[in-house]
Amino acid sequence: MICFYIMQLISCLCLTSNRRVAYNQHMDWDKDAIFKALGDSTRRLILDELSERSELTLYELTARLVMKHNLSISRQAIAKHLNTLEDAGLVLSKRKGKYRVLMFNKEPLKNLLKGWAD
C-alpha cells in the first residue's frame, strides 16, 4: 500500500516538476508548518492580500504591502516568507510567461480546522 502512494507521488512529481503541488495533492498538510506560517504577522498580511485578489505577482504583492501597510520590506524578504507559506500549502504559485503568479490556497486551513470546528 505504501509503495502505491510513493509511486503516485513520484509520477505526480514527474508531471508537475513541483514538489509542493505533488505533496499537497496526495498527502495531508503538515499542521506544524501551517501554524509556523501563520505565526508571523507579515505572512498573515501576505495571506490577507492574496485572499482579496485571485492572483498577484511578486511585484504586485510587494507594492501592495509597501503602499497599503507601510511595510519596509524587500521583494527578497517577501520571497522568503512566500517559501514558508508554500511549504505549508497556503500559497500556490505558477508561471505565466516571465511572471510568477501567487494564489491563496484555503484547503490546508479547512483541513486543519475540520476536526475542531465540526
Q: What domains lie within the chain, and their CATH numbers?
A: 29-117 (1.10.10.10)
- Tell me: pLDDT of 29 over 90: no
pLDDT in tens, 86-96: 999 999 999 99
Q: Confirm whether pTM is higher than 0.85.
A: no
- Indicate the pLDDT class of residue 28, thresholds 50, 70 and 90: low
**C-alpha distances out from residue 59 to 9, 69, 101, 105, Å:** 32, 15, 10, 19
The CA-atom distances, in angstroms, between 66 and each of 8, 24, 90, 104 are 42, 31, 21, 19
